Amino acid sequence: MSLKGQAYVVGAFEHPTRHAVDKSLGQLHAEAALGALDDAGLSIEDVDGYFCAGDVPGWESPGIGPLSVVEYLGLKLRHLDTTESWGSAYINHVEHAARAIAAGKCRVALITQAGRPRAEKFSPEASHLLQAQTTAESQFELPYGPVVTNVYGMCAARHMYEHGTTSEQLAWIKVAASHHAQHNPNAVLPNVVTVEDVIESPIVATPLHRLDCCVISDGGGALVLAHPEVAKGLKRPLITPTGAGFTVKHLNGGYFDILASGAVQTGKEAFQQAGVRPSDIQYASLYDSFTITVLVQLENLGFCEPGQGGRFVADGGLISGVGKLPFNTDGGGLCNNHPGNRGGMTKLIEAVRQLRGEAHPAVQVPDCRLALAHGTGGQLGARHGSATLILERED
């Protein structure tokens, strides 16, 4: 069933904090929820569907975390969805919410996300190793010391080996993000950087430099979707999902292509369902945990041919008003915000801003009517969830 017109995104809110030393995780979820509902012109009493992932407080006790947040927010629900796929979860939730609304399971759906890794002095390496000790694959992989940085470094090295991609080309992705972040007062890294700045920053995991990596930040965000009857009674632009795709990509016992993410499948599904092509997309929110993440998605989603990502992004190819495909005009995870180490929600929020014409004037895509958001939850080069969503503004 087509998603178009089944539900509308009526509220969106990104929490302004990037260092939540004075707020609990529950507070961040609640403040994001209230911000999105206020944006929509609705209240907590209107919500009868709630969607969340593993970032809610208390998730470590299975089933308790989501239920506790429902109580904390004072929600009176008819539908609850706790699908977890890390950073891609919230993009997947939009499809789930639209289908739940179409099926009559709820009329107003709330999606929240929040995290406090900066306040909690998060270490990517320590966190990954601790988690890896409890997974099914840990006995086979842990002896080799995989962490998020060196796994992405392997992806970048492979792309360079196969396609001649250069560090300078990868750096252009960070440069584009910084050109956008300079207009965002909440961005963690608001200063414009050059290609030279990126490649002269310290190596983190060969060939990735420090500035090839996303920020670690606190904060969160929320979206509200509503039934068409509700949405058309509100004074908000009509933004509808039109196509979606989701899959889990894994190592398949060693038989896999390290440069083929789940986006190969989810992009095809989303474009087919929406009835559009990559060339029709006016704005793209692409998961940017690292610069190589963006490059792989551009190729896998069909914005350019495999191996041509480096040429696609070079010389400002992703800068709004300059390049072929404006991306992450809030500065993205590379410069603005990567709350809770999960970037999917912020990708959705900026796509909604663009479609509403509410992005900063310096980066707003003129008459933006068709946008794409893609999330990668987990790790490229390993197991991850991929979600692609196409959004359209209706007159």
CATH number at residue 282: 3.40.47.10
Question: In this structure, what are the phi and psi dihedrals at residue 285, rounded to the nearest 5 degrees?
Answer: -100, 110
Q: Choose the final residue of a domain: 191, 206, 237.
A: 237
Q: Summarize pLDDT for 338-384 with one digit per residue, the tens.
A: 999 999 999 999 999 999 999 999 999 999 999 999 999 999 989 99
Q: Is position 150 within any domain?
A: yes
Cis peptide before 57 (omega within 30 of 0): no
Q: Is position 297 within any domain?
A: yes
Find the helix or strand (DSSP H, E) in which 172 lies.
helix 167-181
- Cα end-to-end span (Å), the chain: 22
Task: Give dist(CA 353, CA 356) in Å, integer.
Answer: 5
CB–CB of 261/386 below 8 Å? yes
Which residues lie below 8 Å from residue 333, measured CB to CB, with a gap of 6+?
A: 214, 215, 287, 288, 289, 343, 346
Share of the chain above pLDDT 70, in %: 96
CB–CB of 304/312 below 8 Å? yes
Token code pair at residue 329: 């005009």
- The arithmetic mean of pLDDT across residues 209-232, rounded, is 98
Is the domain of 149 the same as that of 78?
no
Q: Is position 229 within any domain?
A: yes
Find the helix or strand (DSSP H, E) in which 113 lies.
strand 108-115
Q: Is position 126 within any domain?
A: no
Tell me the pTM. Answer: 0.96
Q: Is position 2 within any domain?
A: no
CB–CB of 225/111 below 8 Å? yes
Q: Is position 26 within any domain?
A: yes
Q: Looking at residue 49, what is its pLDDT?
A: 98
Kindly tell me if the per-residue pLDDT of 60 is higher than 80.
no
The H helix count followed by the E strand count for the chain is 14, 11
Is the domain of 179 the same as that of 303?
yes
Neighbours of 100 (CB within 10 A): 24
Kindly tell me if the per-residue pLDDT of 1 is higher than 90.
no
Q: Looking at residue 158, what is its pLDDT?
A: 98
Is the domain of 164 the same as that of 103?
no
Is the domain of 149 the same as that of 55?
no
Q: Looking at residue 145, what is its pLDDT?
A: 79
Query: What is the signed CA dihedral for 62, 66, 72, 74, rounded to 10 degrees?
Result: -130
Is the domain of 367 the same as that of 271?
yes
- The arithmetic mean of pLDDT across residues 181-207, rounded, is 98
Is the domain of 142 the same as that of 267?
yes
- Structural domain containing residue 25: 8-121+218-237
- Of the candidates 80, 140, 143, 142, the one whose C-alpha atom is nearest the C-alpha of residue 112 is 80
Q: What Å distances lie between residue 107 and 102, 138, 222, 348, CA to CA?
A: 9, 42, 17, 20
Strands 108-115 and 49-51: parallel
Q: Summarize pLDDT for 71-112 with one digit per residue, the tens.
A: 999 999 999 999 999 999 999 999 999 999 999 999 999 999
Is the domain of 156 the same as that of 227?
no
Q: Summarize pLDDT for 281-311 with one digit per residue, the tens.
A: 999 999 999 999 999 999 999 999 999 999 9
Is the domain of 179 the same as that of 325?
yes
Q: Choose the final residue of a domain: 205, 237, 269.
A: 237
- The arithmetic mean of pLDDT across residues 211-232, rounded, is 98
Q: Summarize pLDDT for 108-152 with one digit per residue, the tens.
A: 999 999 999 999 987 665 555 555 556 787 778 777 878 899 999
Count of domains observed in the chain: 2
Is the domain of 150 the same as that of 233?
no
Q: Looking at residue 92, what is its pLDDT?
A: 98
Token code pair at residue 337: 């915000």
Is the domain of 282 the same as that of 195?
yes
Half-sphere exposure of 368 (CA within 13 A, CB side): 30
CB–CB of 342/115 below 8 Å? yes
Q: Looking at residue 45, what is its pLDDT?
A: 98
Task: Give dist(CA 108, CA 181) in Å, integer.
Answer: 32
Q: Is position 202 within any domain?
A: yes
Q: Looking at residue 360, what is its pLDDT?
A: 98
Is the domain of 77 the same as that of 48?
yes
Task: Give dist(CA 344, CA 244) in Å, integer.
Answer: 14
Q: Is position 3 within any domain?
A: no
Is the domain of 18 the same as that of 159?
no
